[in-house]
A and B are shown apart, each in its own frame.
Chain A
Amino acid sequence: MAGFREARGDLQLDKVTKAFGDFTAVDDIDLHVPRGSFFALLGPSGCGKTTTLRMIAGLEQPTAGRVMIGDTDLTGSRPYERPVNTVFQSYALFPHLSIKDNVAFGPKRRKDKDAATRTDEALELVQMTQFAGRKPSQLSGGQQQRVALARALVNHPEVLLLDEPLGALDLKLRREMQVELKRIQTEVGLTFIHVTHDQEEAMTMADTVAVMNKGHIEQLGAPAALYDLPRTRFVANFLGQANTGVGTIKDTDGDHLVADVLGTPVKILKSRSQVHEGEVLFGVRPEKVTVSRSQPEGAGNDVKGVVRDVSFLGVATSYLVDMPSGTTWSCYEQNLDVEPLDLRPGDEVWLTWNPGHAFGVPVDDETAQR
Chain B
Amino acid sequence: MTSTTTTPYRPSTAKRAQIWLANHFAMLSAILVLLYLFLPVAYTFAFSFNDHGKTNIVWQGFTWEHWQDPCGVPGVCGSLVTSLQVGAISTLVATVLGTLMALAMVRYRFRGKQASNVLIFVPMATPEIVMGAALLTIFVQGFSNIGLSLGFTTIVFAHIMFCLSFVVVTVKARIQSLDPRIEEAAQDLYASPMQTFWKVTFPLILPGIAGAAMLAFSLSFDDFIITNFVSGNESTFPKFVYVASRRGIPAEANVIGFSMFVIAVLLVVGAQGVSSLRANRLKD
Q: In their complex, do chains A and B touch, with some C-beta pair under 8 Å?
A: yes
- The chain A residues found within 8 Å of chain B, CB to CB, are 1, 4, 57-59, 78-80, 84-86, 88-90, 92-96, 105-106, 109-110, 134-135, 138, 151-152, 155
Q: Name the contact of B186 in the complex, choosing from A57, A94, A134 (C-beta under 8 A).
A: A94
User: Chain A residues with Cβ under 8 A from B282's Cβ?
Assistant: 134-135, 138
A94 pairs with B190, CB closer than 8 A: no
Best-buried of A79, A88, A95 by chain B (most CB within 10 Å): A79
5 closest Cβ pairs, A-B complex: A106-B189, A92-B181, A109-B190, A92-B185, A79-B187
The secondary structure that dominates the B interface is helix
Best-buried of A90, A92, A138 by chain B (most CB within 10 Å): A92
B189 pairs with A96, CB closer than 8 A: no
Best-buried of B188, B282, B283 by chain A (most CB within 10 Å): B188
Name A81's closest neighbour in chain B (CB-CB). Answer: B190
User: Chain A residues with Cβ under 8 A from B161's Cβ?
Assistant: none
Closest CB-CB distance, B192 to chain A, in whole Å? 6
User: Chain A residues with Cβ under 8 A from B179's Cβ?
Assistant: 90, 92
In the complex, whether B100 has a CB less than 8 A from a CB of chain A is no
User: Chain B residues with Cβ under 8 A from A89's Cβ?
Assistant: 181
A105 pairs with B184, CB closer than 8 A: no
A79 pairs with B184, CB closer than 8 A: yes
User: Chain B residues with Cβ under 8 A from A105's Cβ?
Assistant: 186, 189, 191, 199
In the complex, whether B203 has a CB less than 8 A from a CB of chain A is yes
Pull 23 A–B residue pairs with CB atoms less than 8 Å apart, ordered by A: A59-B188, A79-B187, A80-B187, A80-B188, A80-B189, A80-B192, A85-B189, A88-B184, A89-B181, A90-B179, A90-B181, A92-B181, A92-B185, A93-B182, A94-B185, A105-B189, A106-B189, A134-B282, A135-B282, A138-B282, A151-B189, A152-B188, A155-B190
Name A80's closest neighbour in chain B (CB-CB). Answer: B190
In the complex, whether B41 has a CB less than 8 A from a CB of chain A is no
Q: Name the contact of A57 in the complex, choosing from B188, B191, B192, B283 (C-beta under 8 A).
A: B188
Complex Cα spacing A84 to B187, Å: 11
Complex Cα spacing A78 to B185, Å: 13
Complex Cα spacing A187 to B195, Å: 32
Complex Cα spacing A217 to B236, Å: 70
Report B144-178 CB contacts with A as 1/0, cut-off 8 Å. 00000000000000000000000000000000000
New A-B contacts (7) at CB < 8 Å, excluding given A88-B188, A109-B190, A155-B190: A78-B187, A88-B184, A90-B181, A94-B204, A96-B204, A135-B282, A152-B189
Closest CB-CB distance, B205 to chain A, in whole Å? 10
Q: Name the contact of A95 in the complex, choosing from B184, B190, B204, B283 (C-beta under 8 A).
A: B204
Closest CB-CB distance, B57 to chain A, in whole Å? 52
User: Chain B residues with Cβ under 8 A from A138's Cβ?
Assistant: 282-283
Name B199's closest neighbour in chain A (CB-CB). Answer: A105
In the complex, whether B200 has a CB less than 8 A from a CB of chain A is yes
Closest CB-CB distance, A340 to chain B, in whole Å? 46
Name B182's closest neighbour in chain A (CB-CB). Answer: A92
User: Chain A residues with Cβ under 8 A from B203's Cβ?
Assistant: 96
Complex Cα spacing A59 to B203, Å: 22
Q: Name the contact of A85 in the complex, choosing from B181, B188, B191, B200 (C-beta under 8 A).
A: B188
B200 pairs with A80, CB closer than 8 A: no
User: Chain A residues with Cβ under 8 A from B186's Cβ?
Assistant: 94, 105
Name B207's closest neighbour in chain A (CB-CB). Answer: A96
A106 pairs with B190, CB closer than 8 A: yes
B188 pairs with A86, CB closer than 8 A: yes
Closest CB-CB distance, A45 to chain B, in whole Å? 17
Complex Cα spacing A80 to B194, Å: 12
Closest CB-CB distance, B249 to chain A, in whole Å? 46
A80 pairs with B181, CB closer than 8 A: no
Closest CB-CB distance, B101 to chain A, in whole Å? 23
A109 pairs with B188, CB closer than 8 A: no
User: In chain B, residues 36-87, which have Cβ atoms closer than 8 Å to a Cβ of chain A?
Assistant: none
Name B192's closest neighbour in chain A (CB-CB). Answer: A80
B187 pairs with A88, CB closer than 8 A: no
Closest CB-CB distance, B190 to chain A, in whole Å? 4
User: Chain B residues with Cβ under 8 A from A96's Cβ?
Assistant: 200, 203-204
A86 pairs with B185, CB closer than 8 A: yes
User: Chain B residues with Cβ under 8 A from A84's Cβ?
Assistant: 188
Name A103's closest neighbour in chain B (CB-CB). Answer: B189
Closest CB-CB distance, B155 to chain A, in whole Å? 37
Complex Cα spacing A85 to B186, Å: 10
User: Chain A residues with Cβ under 8 A from B195's Cβ?
Assistant: 109
Name B191's closest neighbour in chain A (CB-CB). Answer: A109
B200 pairs with A92, CB closer than 8 A: no
User: Chain B residues with Cβ under 8 A from A59's Cβ?
Assistant: 184, 187-188
B204 pairs with A92, CB closer than 8 A: no
Name B283's closest neighbour in chain A (CB-CB). Answer: A138
User: Chain B residues with Cβ under 8 A from A85's Cβ?
Assistant: 188-189
User: Chain A residues with Cβ under 8 A from B188's Cβ?
Assistant: 57-59, 79-80, 84-86, 88, 152
User: Chain B residues with Cβ under 8 A from A4's Cβ?
Assistant: 190
Closest CB-CB distance, B126 to chain A, in whole Å? 37
Name A89's closest neighbour in chain B (CB-CB). Answer: B181
Best-buried of B181, B189, B192 by chain A (most CB within 10 Å): B189
